[in-house]
Amino acid sequence: MELSNVGYGLFVGVVTFWWVSLLFVNMAGFGMRLETGVDGYQRSECSVKYGFLFISLTFFTLFLFEVMTGRPLHPVPYVLTGAALTVFYLVGLMMGLTYALLYILVTAAHAALLLGSVALLIAIAGLMYLTRGVDWYGYGGEEDNCED
């Protein structure tokens, strides 16, 4: 009987200590508060800032090479580096647009056939417009291979 009273007293003492310490922690301003995570807009802003950082560090590296060696670089390395970075980011943009189109097609199941057909029509029309001046049979030669 006395042992259970000791156990009960120990339990009450621990619970009381826990509540009192929790009360003092809350009153003192200590503790933990959960914050919301990073949303998509903040991630996009961060990725754009890192993109500018990556581009500027690349050109700064070329400039630093020019200054440290004492030999001026021809403008061609700068142009080629800029073209490579442009292609890299344009490919990323095109992949993002492609995934966005696929997401729209998957989520709009009732209109997927119509949206897919319109997207293919636009893609084929764009390819036809871009290749309208290509001589498919001449391959740039002088003679006309279409007629016999």
Q: Is residue 126 included in any domain, yes or no?
A: yes
Phi-psi region of 30 (alpha: psi -120 to 50; beta: other; left: phi over 0): beta
Structural tokens at position 36 = 């919301």
SS3 call for 71: coil
Distance of CA 13 to the CA centre of its chain: 54
Rounded to whole angstroms, the Cα distance separating 103 from 98 reads 9
What sign does the CA torsion over 121, 124, 130, 135 have? negative
Q: Evaluate whether residue 35 is within a structural domain.
A: no
Domain limits at 126?
90-131
- In this predicted structure, the answer to whether residue 144 has a pLDDT above a threshold of 70 is no
Domain assignment present for 102 = yes
* Structural domain contains residue 111: yes
**Is there a contact between 56 and 29 (Cβ–Cβ < 8 Å)?**
no
Number of domains composing the chain: 1
In a domain, 5, yes or no: no
Q: What percent of the chain has pLDDT over 70?
A: 71
Q: 100 with 108: CB under 8 angstroms? A: no
The structure's pTM equals 0.46
In 3D space, the residue among 84, 47, 78 whose CA is nearest the CA of residue 62 turns out to be 78
Tell me the per-residue pLDDT of 74-118, one tens digit each, with 9 for 90 and over: 888 889 988 998 898 889 888 988 888 888 878 877 787 888 888
Tens-place pLDDT, residues 37-75:
777 788 888 888 888 888 888 889 888 888 888 888 888
Residue 39, in any domain of the structure: no
Q: Would you say residue 8 lies in a domain?
A: no
- Asked if the structure places residue 124 within a domain, the reply is yes
